């Protein structure tokens, strides 16, 4: 089975299409005279065809792009600012919490603490959502 590709702006190959294709080309490679429509495609061209040479966008009148740093996630900042009590204190707080809200879960406290150790904020959020009450281990622990 053959796939048929259709392009709205097909420019054609060979001599007939070369003039139509040239309209979009702005930059010409100084090494092999290949045409590129943008600095980004010229950078890719250099990486694949002239890998031993270093590409300098200044040679083509462009400033090199600086790598953008990703902004810090507010949730990550919040996680690092909270100082949680020891695991033993959180176990005691969980025991009290489950005695009031779900006594049938008292047998699972050890398993829960093992699963969420170091991820107490995630456990707080899950319990708050499940039991529709604010859970805060820092204020719950003695």
Domain extent, residue 99, equals 74-140
Does residue 85 sit in the same domain as residue 128? yes
- pLDDT for residue 110: 92
| Same domain flag for 79 and 130 | yes
- Tell whether 97 is covered by a domain: yes
Does 88 lie in the same domain as 121? yes
Query: Do 55 and 108 sit in the same domain of this protein?
Result: no
Residues 128 and 98 in one domain: yes
Helix (H/G/I), strand (E/B), else coil: 26: coil
One domain for residues 81 and 128:
yes
Whether residue 93 lies inside any domain: the answer is yes
pLDDT in tens, 87-117: 899 899 999 999 999 999 899 999 998 999 8
| Domain identity same for 40 and 96 | no
How far apart (Å, rounded) are the C-alpha atoms in residues 84 and 141?
A: 9
CA 63 – CA 56 distance, rounded (Å): 9
38 three-class SS:
coil
* Token digits of residue 37: 């429509």
pTM for the model stands at 0.43
């Amino acid at each position: 089975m053959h796939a048929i590709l259709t392009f709205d702006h097909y420019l054609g190959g060979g001599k007939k299409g070369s003039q139509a294709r040239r309209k979009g080309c702005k930059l010409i490679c100084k090494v092999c005279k290949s045409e590129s429509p943008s600095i980004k495609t010229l950078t890719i061209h250099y990486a694949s065809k002239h890998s031993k040479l270093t590409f300098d966008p200044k040679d083509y009148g462009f400033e090199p792009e600086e790598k953008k740093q990703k902004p810090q996630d507010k949730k990550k900042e919040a996680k690092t600012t909270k100082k949680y009590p020891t695991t033993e204190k959180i176990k005691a707080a969980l025991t009290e919490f489950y005695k009031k809200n779900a006594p049938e879960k008292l047998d699972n406290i050890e398993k829960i603490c093992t699963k969420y150790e170091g991820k107490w904020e995630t456990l707080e959020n899950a319990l708050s959502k499940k039991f529709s009450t604010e859970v805060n281990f820092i204020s719950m622990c003695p």
